[in-house]
Amino acid sequence: MSPSRGRHRADRTQVRTTSVPGCLSAPVADSGCTPPVPAAPQEELVARPASKDTFAVEDAPFEAPTIGAAERRSQAGRLPSAVGWSSAGIALDAGQAGPYWVSAGSLVGRGHAWAGSTRQDSYALAFSESGGSLVLAVADGLGSRSRSQLGARHLSAAVAREFVTAEQESAATDDEALLLAAIAQAQSELEAVWAPAYGVTDTRALACTLAVVVLPADLGTRPVLAARIGDSTVFTATDAESEPFDEVFPLSDGPINMVSASLPAAGFREDIEIRRLDPAGFSKLVLCTDGVADDVYESPGVRAWLARRWRHPCTERWMLESLSYARAGSQDDRTAVVVWLRPGTGPARTPDAGEGADGAD
């Protein structure tokens, strides 16, 4: 994997998933199953002037590193306006999903928090308790689009849900065909239901990138499917000390400062990248938006930190601190979904001095 690439893109939302102790369920709370909300006037989100009052803000102790000349400035955070149907600043989930363990986190970027704009990243998952595939998705709303967090929220949830529903109803085994059909159906739902519900007349305002992984319940039956449209991406990961992350979708030469593909798009079949993965070569997968991917590519310190943190399945709080590092130039939202393919053979690691143990049993 190339350790360094010049990439940066500002802005991006999230789909909450319901969870019960030790078990994850399909997206519900903010997914495509929620009732439409009343339309409100289209209003551009703009950064509000900073308040003249400065609060002394307390924070919990943490071990997440500061890499480079990065500022945390917890007292500079600003809440977004509700007019833009903003997302919560943090979303977290962890638990068993079928035969796998999933830990997910989405954090508003420092650039958004300081400007008072909303988190635009999203994640979602779906699976059937009766067997079949686990579908994971992350989406990244385009920062230049006024309602992109809504597109990311509903598209990621609908793609995961539609795949699992179709798989259960048809007993089909062609994962690629099911995924393409699920994306097409999710786009139709976004355009026919959610855009009118939010008062959006031009669906380009909902544009987002998407990465999806399909894991069969039995890894011996067929490969793992990974797909993406745009620059959200997927890494395979191992417990190796040297270069624990390996890219599934190689970067092209040169900086990636512009998104060449996004959803919704009528011609998405021409833009989608699909890979079939042999699960024998890795122990976990990481789906992430470019706010995390950029840091993994460009920072040896971030790679080493995340590799240590994600050696074992972890809880929501562990995931939160994992993504709470500060890195110079890292301003975007951070969203990562980590899935462990099989139970570990050893106990969770002993906590470092001053660090609490919060791995999953």
pLDDT the model gives residue 323: 96
- How much is the mean pLDDT over the chain? 79
pLDDT the model gives residue 216: 94
3-class DSSP state for residue 317?
helix
pLDDT the model gives residue 176: 96
Average pLDDT over residues 287-301: 94
Domain presence at residue 304:
yes
Neighbours of 170 (CB within 10 A): 12
pLDDT for residue 355 is more than 80? no
Q: For 105, how many CA atoms within 13 A lie in the half-sphere containing its CB?
A: 20
The single-letter DSSP state of residue 312 is: S
Picking from 5, 85, 88, 74, the residue whose alpha carbon sits closest to that of residue 39 is: 85
Q: Which residue has the higher pLDDT, 332 or 26?
A: 332
Q: How far is CA 323 from the centre of its chain?
A: 12
Domain presence at residue 345:
no
The single-letter DSSP state of residue 75 is: G
pLDDT the model gives residue 119: 87
User: Encoding tokens for residue 175?
Assistant: 């994962």
* Cα gap 333→35, rounded to integer Å: 27
User: Encoding tokens for residue 203?
Assistant: 């669906």
Average pLDDT over residues 80-102: 86
Q: For 344, how many CA atoms within 13 A lie in the half-sphere containing its CB?
A: 18
Strand partners, 66: 326
User: Encoding tokens for residue 59?
Assistant: 């924070």
Domain presence at residue 213:
yes
- Can you give the pTM of this predicted structure? 0.81
Domain presence at residue 66:
no
Strands of 42-195, DSSP E? 66-67, 90-97, 100-107, 121-126, 133-141
DSSP labels for 236-304?
EE-S-SS--EEESSPPPSS---S----BS-TTHHHH-EEEEE-GGG-SEEEEE-HHHHHHHHH-HHHHH
The pairing of beta strand 100-107 with beta strand 208-216 = unpaired
pLDDT the model gives residue 255: 40
Starting at the edge strand that comes first in sequence, how are the strands of the sheet with 133-141 ordered? 121-126, 133-141, 208-216, 224-229, 273-277
Percent of the chain at pLDDT above 90? 50
* Residues 289 and 12 sit within 8 Å (Cβ to Cβ): yes
* Cα gap 338→148, rounded to integer Å: 24
The single-letter DSSP state of residue 15 is: -
Domain presence at residue 23:
yes
pLDDT for residue 93 is more than 90? yes
pLDDT the model gives residue 282: 93
Identify the weakest region by mean pLDDT among 27-36, 184-193, 288-297: 27-36
* Residues 94 and 336 sit within 8 Å (Cβ to Cβ): no
- Mention every residue, 6+ apart, whose C-beta is less than 8 A from residue 119: 12, 13, 14, 86, 87, 88, 89, 106, 107, 108, 109, 112, 149, 333
Q: How confident is the model at residue 250 (pLDDT cuts 50, 70, 90)?
A: confident
pLDDT the model gives residue 117: 75
pLDDT the model gives residue 144: 59
* Residues 187 and 262 sit within 8 Å (Cβ to Cβ): no
pLDDT the model gives residue 230: 93
- At 15-54, the pLDDT tens digits run 333 333 334 443 333 333 333 433 444 444 444 455 556 7
pLDDT the model gives residue 253: 47
* Residues 147 and 200 sit within 8 Å (Cβ to Cβ): yes
For residue 168, which phi and psi values (nearest 5 degrees)? Answer: -70, -35
- At 145-160, the pLDDT tens digits run 667 889 899 999 999 9
pLDDT for residue 296 is more than 60? yes
Domain presence at residue 129:
yes
Domain presence at residue 302:
yes
Number of domains in the chain: 1
Q: For 205, how many CA atoms within 13 A lie in the half-sphere containing its CB?
A: 17
- At 205-225, the pLDDT tens digits run 899 999 999 999 999 889 999
- At 97-130, the pLDDT tens digits run 999 999 999 998 886 666 667 888 999 999 988 8
For residue 254, which phi and psi values (nearest 5 degrees)? Answer: 85, 170
pLDDT for residue 8 is more than 60? no
Average pLDDT over residues 74-84: 67
Average pLDDT over residues 285-312: 95
DSSP labels for 159-194?
HHHHHHHHHHHH----HHHHHHHHHHHHHHHIIIII
Domain presence at residue 35:
no
Percent of the chain at pLDDT above 70? 72
Q: How confident is the model at residue 260 (pLDDT cuts 50, 70, 90)?
A: confident
pLDDT for residue 339 is more than 90? yes
> Domain range for residue 280?
17-30+72-340
pLDDT the model gives residue 221: 87
pLDDT the model gives residue 276: 97
- At 220-237, the pLDDT tens digits run 889 999 999 999 999 999
Q: How confident is the model at residue 273 (pLDDT cuts 50, 70, 90)?
A: very high
The CATH number of whichever domain residue 140 belongs to comes to 3.60.40.10
CA gyration radius, the chain: 19
Q: Which residue has the higher pLDDT, 19 or 272?
A: 272
Picking from 176, 99, 179, 181, the residue whose alpha carbon sits closest to that of residue 132 is: 99
